[in-house]
Each structure stands twice: as C-alpha cells, then as structure tokens.
Amino acid sequence: MAIIALLAVTIIPTWKQLAANLVALLIFATFTGVFKEVVKRLWPCASLLAAMLIIHSLFNPANRHYWWVFGLEGTLYALRLALRLLCILIILHYLISTTPPFEFVKLFNKIHPDLGMIVSMFLAIMPALQKQFITTLEIQEVRGLIKTNSLPARLRAYLAVLVPIVIHSINHAYSLAQLLYLRGYSWRHIGLAREPAKRSEKVAIGLSAVYLLANVLVAYRWY
Amino acid sequence: MKEAGIHVESLSLFYPGNPRPALQGVNLTVYQGEIAFLVGGNLSGKTSLLRCLAGLIPGVLPGKWQGRILVANKSLNAEGNERAPASVILQNSDLYLLPRVYDELALPLVNSGLTSREVEKRIVLLAEELGICHLLNRQMSSLSGGERQKVAFAAAIAVDYPVILCDEPFEQADAEAAEAMLSLLRRKAASGGTVLIATRYFEYARYFADRIILIRDGAVIAQDRSGNAEKIAGMVPECRISRRQRSQATIMTVSGSRELFFEGVTHLFDSGHGIKNVSLEVCKGEVVAIMGPNGSGKTTLLKHTVGLLRPQEGRVWLRETETSRLPVGLLAEKIGMLFQNPDDQIFNERVDREIACSLRARGARWNEALKEAAHWLAKIGQAQIAASHPHSLPYSLRQIVSLVSVLINRPEIIVLDEPFKSLDYRNVEILMSIILELRQEKDNPIILVTHDPTVTLLYANRVAFFDHGEIVLQGVPQDIFFSTQFRNLSLGRHPFIRGLLDSNNH
C-alpha cells in the first residue's frame, strides 16, 4: 500500500495537486487519530523546508519573474519539493507505525533469504546495543565522567561511552558468529509460510490503487 | 559395557600469539547416559575444552589443537571446519540471533533439515517441556533475564543431538531456573544422551553429577564418581568453600549509626516490574546482601542509591539528607558503585589511566591522579599491570581494575551490583579483601547484590531477600539460611544451602 502511495506522490507534477494530496493525507491522519503524532514527527523538518524555500526563491538560477526579491520559479520549485517531501514522510510514518518489524523481515526474506537473515539479526541486535548504551551511560555518569561544561570534557565523555560500546559490539559479533555456527546456519533458511491476504489488506490495496489512478488521471488532465 | 559419548586423548591447545598451552595432555571419557561436571576456576581451561569438543576451534575461533577428540563416535578434525554432533549452551545466554522467540527456536531446526510442519511440532513439544509456550510470539528483547535463559537453553537443545555441552549454565540462572535445566538434562541423559557441564561451582557437581572432572591450568587434575566427591573436593578450593571457611563466617552484630535509609520506596516500570514499598536501612560498618530471583527488583533498588532512578513514592535518605534533589554526580561522590561487567566501563588504553580518570573526573590533576592510581595498584599487589592495556588482562583482573577505579575516590558507602558473577571464589576473596581493607579504615557500609549464598554467608552481616519487588525475608544469614521460611523460597534449593543443611544435620 505504501509503495503504491509513494509511487502516486512521485509522479505528481504540480504543487497544487501535491498540496491537495497533502491535505488528503492530513485528513486521513485526523480520521485515523494520528494527526498530532504526524505533526510532532514532521515538526523538526519545518526549519529545513523553510530554508529550502528561502534559498530557492532567492538564488535559483531559473528565476525570471520576481515579487520584490523572491523569484517565482525557484519558489514554485522549492514548494513542489517541500510538498512532495512532506507527503513521502507522512506515508513513511504510516508504514513504520503500522508494520511490525517481522513483516519487514518477511519482505526482505522474499528478495533473498540471506538478506532476511541480515535484517533479522540487525533487528535483534539493536535493542541489545541500545541497552548497552544505557548501561554504559549510567556507569560513566556514576563515575562522574559525563560532564558538559567544557569541550575536552565532552569529547572525553563521548569516548568513555563509545569505547565500551564498540568493544562490546566486537565481542558480540564474535559470539554471534559462534552462535550461527552452532545453530548450523547454512544454505537452508527459514521458510516463511505464505499467508493469504486478509480482507482489510485487500481493501487497503484497493484504496491505494484508486488513489494512484486518481492522481494519474488528474495529472494527465492537467497537461 | 557402556559406550563413550565423549572421548578425549592427549588434547593440547594453543591460542595464536600465546606460547603457553591453554590445554595440555587432557584425557577424559564421558559415557552415554552420564552427566559429567567439569569443575574449575577462572582460566582453568573449561571453556577452551568445550570449544574444542563443539568444533568451534578451529571452526570459528582461532587456535590449534593436537590429540584425538571423539564426540558421539565422530572423530573431529583438528584442521577441519566441521561441527560436532552436539548441542552447545554458551556461557552468555543474553545472545540471540533473531528478534522473535519462535524464529530463534526454529532456526537450528530448519538448518538441520526439518520441514516447516516438523519444526512447528518440535517447537511446541519443547516449549511445553520447558514451560515457555506463552513466550513463543514474544520479542526476545522484551524477555526477562530468566526467560531469555530458558529460550537460549531451548534453542541450544532444539535439535536432538546425542551429546550436550553446557558452559556455565547456572551463572545467570536463579535456583529455580537452574533446577528446571538440570531436570531436563537428567531426562536427556536417562534416554541415552551424554551431558558435559562446565562450571566453577563444585556444589552443583556434588548433587547433580554422575562423574566429576577437575581441571586446573589446562590439565585434568582428578576425576571420580560423584559418590567420592568429598575425596576430591579439597583439590579445587577456588570452586568451593570448605566447612572450615564456613565456620569462620562469624555472626557480626552492627550497632553503628544509620547511613542509608530507603523509606517505603516504590518505583514501577511500564512492564509492571520494579520495587514496591521497600524499606531498608544500612548502618555504619554493615555489609547488607541483597538476594532474589532475576527481575525481582534488586538492581532497581541499587540505582536509587546514586540517583540513577528516583522514587515514585517514598524517600531515600543519606544520613539526614533526603536524596531526591541531589544530582547523580554529587551522590556518586559519596556512594561508589561497582557494576556487573567491567567491560561496560573500561575505555582507557592503560590500566593506570583508567583508574586515574575517576579521580580526574572529581577535579584532581592528571599527574596527581596517576600517582594515586599507582599507589592503589601497589597496595593491592598489582603494580606490574599499570601500563597494560586493560583489555589484554583476564576478566578477573579487569574487574579488579573497575573496583579500584571506584575505591580510589574513597566513597563513604560502597554498592556492589553482582560484581562476582563470573569469578571463582579465589578471585572473590581477592576482591572482597580489597574492599574490606578500605572498610576497616573508614567503617564504610556495603550493599552487595549477589545470587550466590556462599558469598552472603561469608561476607554479609545481614541479608534481604527480594521477590516480585518486595522484601520477603530479612535477617542474619546464619539464621535465615536455616529458617523454614527460607526453605520455602526457590533459593532454599540451591546446592550450597543443601550442603549447609546436610553438614549441620538439619
């Protein structure tokens, strides 16, 4: 569904259609109760998008028509970029928040079983590394090493946290290699059962197809 | 005549860059239907021997062995890259390959060539046997330490190999989990399997082994049937506390002033774990041991001492000061905390710098801090390691480096969070003698979290047992260990306690 929606957003040629899509996605977010969360996630991008608009409106070499010092062509170009980026981010947010990690593994497993295994191991290692980071941070804090009063102290604090994590990661990799060997990892791989699509999934795919088709038609009519 | 499940002849092992052999002339035989315990202290060669038997050396790990190894009648090749037909339980049960429990169990089965249906059937059987059916769809990262250990154990024995090799399987297990694992291993042996368990706890071997093999400095120094355990027990003082040492653990009464007081402290995490309404006081000169199963709230309590966690309800008092508004840095100047794993904190390239940086963080100049570090290393008889890279030292010495980096600040209260987890009793004694020497100077109170009742009996004035976030029993260890209430707790079934009760005819 996300792939179809991303495809639709990518082919849209005008800022007006992109703006309509953004409004539609935000309305969808409001109805599904994630509007506040989406806005919270997108907020950090606001300064980046604003900077992009300003730079293009002032310095885009394609600028021919001006309103005061702002070039119209550059502004429209930046607006299209910004709106497209916002739509993509909202769709990706939906994808991540509604898809359990195991579904990603299934997807990569279909591409190649070794790729599935790598993604699985990555997903398994991340919480362990996160836990290690918290433990080391706590220990060095208790030792009085986490200080932010001067640059050398801050650099030393980074090292104090980073070095144990790197060493832990190396040891962890050695241990995982042993574990893979002991579990007999070879050319055979976990065969994930192919489950028939659920009704809700079929509806979602159908809606995405309509969304893509509508965008293609509007874009076609525009020209 | 019984057939050998494991047979080793004249085995020697060399690691690259080390001219000293890790194993030398090892000969041993473990028969089918037997549970053998390989007992030895730190650096005795237990893990190296198991690595050779499992085919990890030279399969994955560097090393060169000579001699003859037969595992389930299969001769291993010293040059080859072939797995031994054995299930192997590694020392670190926190390791896992896949995020979901079911997949973690399925991986070895699929790799052994079973079909999806066979895999599912085997997993359900195994999960029922170990009581982990409810965990199958959980994420590995969401499991508690005890649950993860059970899953690691299940994954290791999922494929029905004739030989099972276990490396320190009880190190991270509470008494209940250890008992469940042992009963399953006993069933495997009864059905003709061969089990070899490497451990540094002689007491486990005394009660659960058919054969005991003692190892030190890479050589087998004795082996006998478990019925003759008493005869050979004295040969490994690093793995066992003798009756004489136990009797020397005298009851100490402390009447010093109150140094630290947890007043009705509650801190519950989203998972429901944590501590509930815990009240505990620690007086001057006192050693308080905190014990309890995995996830019972011991570490949560300790984190409140230095402000890493703050009470949701209740208060923590450091003498007359309520600590909730004191920053971690200030609390940590008064309270020194040693954590489980030295590798979580070591980051310097030299031992003396690693120790000195604790003082440096408190404002000392580098040359003064280094001078003080050298003084401390000399004081504990380890001056020669000052210039060494900490990670080139054995684990036990790394833990000593971590300890000294805590003690160098001369803390008023010492907090130890399972610091002896991977150490034998000889190393525990070295560490505790350093701590107790400091205590003699300043009468510092000590809080010690441990799973090992031996350590509690030898060093603690008082013990508090945690269960489900609450203190369920508290008192003098010598009294508590013989109480009926204690015997109802899972820890009451620990082999050391059984030995204690047996020797006192209880």
pLDDT at B335 over 70: yes
Fold matches, B4-236 and B248-343+411-503:
yes
Average pLDDT score over residue span B175-204: 87
Residue type for position A179: L
Residue carrying the six token digits 């050319």: A187
Residue B144's SS3 state is coil
Residues of A in contact with B98 (CB under 8 A): 120-121, 124
Residue carrying the six token digits 């000590």: B446
What are the beta bridge partners of residue B258?
A: B283
Report the alpha-carbon distance of residue B43 to residue A215 in Å, rounded.
69
**Of the candidates B425, B205, B176, B462, the residue with the CA atom closest to the CA atom of residue B292:** B176
Instruction: For residue A202, tell me if it sits in a domain.
Output: no
pLDDT band for A186, please (50, 70, 90 cuts).
Answer: low
The predicted structure's pLDDT at residue A102: 63
Report the alpha-carbon distance of residue A208 to residue A21 in Å, rounded.
13
Report the alpha-carbon distance of residue B476 to residue B486 in Å, rounded.
12
Q: Which two tokens stand for residue B410?
A: 């001369």
Residues of A in contact with B107 (CB under 8 A): 183, 185, 190
Residues of B in contact with A120 (CB under 8 A): 97-99, 103
**Of the candidates B84, B87, B79, B69, the residue with the CA atom closest to the CA atom of residue B29:** B69
Contact assignment for A184 to B361 by CB distance below 8 Å: no
End-to-end Cα, chain B, rounded Å? 40
pLDDT at B162 over 90: yes
Residues of B in contact with A172 (CB under 8 A): 95
Q: Which residue of A has its CA nearest to B92?
A: A175
pLDDT at A29 over 90: no
Residue B277's SS3 state is strand
pLDDT band for B53, please (50, 70, 90 cuts).
Answer: very high
Question: Which of A105, A129, A142 is most worth mutating to test chain B (most B CB atoms within 10 A of its CB)?
Answer: A142
Contact assignment for A176 to B344 by CB distance below 8 Å: no
Average pLDDT score over residue span B199-210: 88
Q: Which two tokens stand for residue B487?
A: 């015997």
Q: Looking at the structure, do residues A9 and A95 belong to the same domain, yes or no? A: yes
Residue B504's SS3 state is coil
Distance from the Cα of B58 to chain A's closest Cα (Å) equals: 11
Q: Looking at the structure, do residues A53 and A127 belong to the same domain, yes or no? A: no
Report the alpha-carbon distance of residue B287 to residue B398 in Å, rounded.
24
Tell me which residue range forms the domain holding A134: 103-182
Bigger pLDDT: A147 vs B93 = B93
Residue A110 near chain B (CB below 8 Å): no
Specify whether the CB–CB gap between A132 and A173 falls below 8 A.
no
Helix or strand holding residue B26 (H, E)? strand B23-31
Instruction: For residue A78, tell me if it sits in a domain.
Output: yes
pLDDT at B250 over 60: no
pLDDT band for B316, please (50, 70, 90 cuts).
Answer: very high
Residues of A in contact with B405 (CB under 8 A): 143
Q: Which two tokens stand for residue B7?
A: 């047979």
The tally of domains found in chain A comes to 2
pLDDT at B8 over 50: yes
pLDDT at B48 over 90: yes
Residue B91 near chain A (CB below 8 Å): no
Instruction: For residue A7, tell me if it sits in a domain.
Output: yes
Q: Looking at the structure, do residues A32 and A86 belong to the same domain, yes or no? A: yes
The predicted structure's pLDDT at residue B237: 82
Residues of B in contact with A175 (CB under 8 A): 90, 92, 95
pTM: 0.78
Share of chain A above pLDDT 70, in %: 89
Contact assignment for A164 to B116 by CB distance below 8 Å: no
Report the alpha-carbon distance of residue B461 to residue B448 in Å, rounded.
11
Share of chain A above pLDDT 90, in %: 5
- Residue B481's CB is within 10 A of a number of other CB atoms, namely 23
Q: Looking at the structure, do residues A107 and A89 belong to the same domain, yes or no? A: no
Q: Looking at the structure, do residues A128 and A160 belong to the same domain, yes or no? A: yes
pLDDT at A192 over 50: no
pLDDT at B197 over 90: yes
Report the alpha-carbon distance of residue B264 to residue B311 in Å, rounded.
9
Contact assignment for A141 to B83 by CB distance below 8 Å: no
pLDDT at B68 over 90: yes
Report the alpha-carbon distance of residue B81 to residue A181 in Å, rounded.
10
Give B249's contacts (C-beta < 8 A, 6+ positions apart). B457, B458, B459, B477, B478
- How long is chain B? 506
Distance from the Cα of B503 to chain A's closest Cα (Å) equals: 41
The predicted structure's pLDDT at residue A167: 87
Q: Looking at the structure, do residues A169 and A146 belong to the same domain, yes or no? A: yes
Q: Looking at the structure, do residues A89 and A138 belong to the same domain, yes or no? A: no
Give A134's contacts (C-beta < 8 A, 6+ positions apart). none
Point out the residue among B141, B332, B343 whose CB comes nearest to the CB of A168.
Answer: B343
Q: Looking at the structure, do residues A79 and A126 belong to the same domain, yes or no? A: no
Specify whether the CB–CB gap between B405 and B355 falls below 8 A.
yes
pLDDT band for A196, please (50, 70, 90 cuts).
Answer: low
Q: Looking at the structure, do residues A62 and A80 belong to the same domain, yes or no? A: yes
**Of the candidates A45, A140, A20, the residue with the CA atom closest to the CA atom of residue B337:** A140
End-to-end Cα, chain A, rounded Å? 27
pLDDT band for B279, please (50, 70, 90 cuts).
Answer: very high
> Right CATH number for B4-236 from 3.40.190.10, 3.40.1190.20, 3.40.50.300, 3.40.50.1820?
3.40.50.300
pLDDT band for B423, please (50, 70, 90 cuts).
Answer: confident
Report the alpha-carbon distance of residue A108 to residue A164 in Å, rounded.
32
The predicted structure's pLDDT at residue B113: 78
Average pLDDT score over residue span B72-96: 85
Point out the residue among B106, B111, B155 whose CB comes nearest to the CB of A185.
Answer: B111
Tell me the CB-side half-sphere exposure of residue A125, using CA atoms within 13 A: 15
**Mean pLDDT of all residues belonging to chain B:** 86
pLDDT at B198 over 90: yes
Point out the residue among B97, B116, B362 whose CB comes nearest to the CB of A179.
Answer: B97
Q: Which of A99, A129, A146 is the last residue of a domain?
A: A99
Residue carrying the six token digits 């003098």: B476
> Looking at the domain covering B248-343+411-503, what would its CATH class be?
alpha beta
Specify whether the CB–CB gap between B143 and B98 falls below 8 A.
no
pLDDT at B251 over 70: no
**Of the candidates B10, B24, B29, the residue with the CA atom closest to the CA atom of residue B68:** B10
Share of chain B above pLDDT 90, in %: 35
Average pLDDT score over residue span B375-398: 88
| Cis preceding-peptide flag for B495 (omega within 30 of 0) | no
The predicted structure's pLDDT at residue B72: 92
**Of the candidates A166, A164, A146, A165, the residue with the CA atom closest to the CA atom of residue A156:** A146
Contact assignment for A135 to B339 by CB distance below 8 Å: yes
Burial tier of A115 (Cβ tally within 10 Å: 0-12, 13-18, 19+):
middle
**Of the candidates B150, B188, B187, the residue with the CA atom closest to the CA atom of residue B169:** B150
Q: Which residue of A has its CA nearest to B407?
A: A143
B100 DSSP assignment = B
Distance from the Cα of B267 to chain A's closest Cα (Å) equals: 17
Contact assignment for B361 to A123 by CB distance below 8 Å: no
Enumerate the domain spans of chain B: 4-236, 248-343+411-503
- How long is chain A? 223
Residue carrying the six token digits 């005394």: B206
Residue type for position B209: A
At how many degrees (to 10) do helices B351-361 and B366-379 cross?
120
Contact assignment for A143 to B329 by CB distance below 8 Å: no
Report the alpha-carbon distance of residue A28 to residue A20 in Å, rounded.
12
B127-150 confidence digits (pLDDT tens)? 888 888 888 988 888 887 778 888
pLDDT band for B253, please (50, 70, 90 cuts).
Answer: low
Alpha carbon B350 to chain centroid distance? 26
The predicted structure's pLDDT at residue B504: 62
At how many degrees (to 10) do helices A35-42 and A15-31 cross?
130
The predicted structure's pLDDT at residue B330: 86
Q: Looking at the structure, do residues A81 and A9 belong to the same domain, yes or no? A: yes
Residue B164's SS3 state is strand
Residues of A in contact with B155 (CB under 8 A): 183
At how many degrees (to 10) do helices A72-98 and A15-31 cross?
30
For the residues of B295-361, what is the DSSP string, one character each? TSSHHHHHHHHTTSS--SEEEEEETTEEGGGS-HHHHHHHEEEE-S-GGGT---SSHHHHHHHHHHH
Average pLDDT score over residue span B449-462: 88
Contact assignment for A177 to B60 by CB distance below 8 Å: yes
Q: Looking at the structure, do residues A139 and A50 belong to the same domain, yes or no? A: no
Helix or strand holding residue B59 (H, E)? helix B56-59
Residue A209 near chain B (CB below 8 Å): no
Q: Which residue of A has its CA nearest to B119?
A: A190
Contact assignment for B347 to A102 by CB distance below 8 Å: no
Pairs of residues, one from chain A and one from chain B, whose beta carbons lie less than 8 Å apart: 132
Distance from the Cα of A164 to chain B's closest Cα (Å) equals: 5
Contact assignment for B88 to A184 by CB distance below 8 Å: no
Give B323's contacts (C-beta < 8 A, 6+ positions apart). B307, B315, B316, B317, B331
Average pLDDT score over residue span A139-159: 77
Radius of gyration of chain A (CA): 24
pLDDT at A193 over 50: no
Average pLDDT score over residue span B93-110: 85
The predicted structure's pLDDT at residue A197: 65
Point out the residue among B97, B328, B347 whose CB comes nearest to the CB of A163.
Answer: B347
Q: Looking at the structure, do residues A88 and A12 belong to the same domain, yes or no? A: yes
At how many degrees (to 10) do helices B395-407 and B366-379 cross?
120
| ipTM beyond cut 0.90 | no
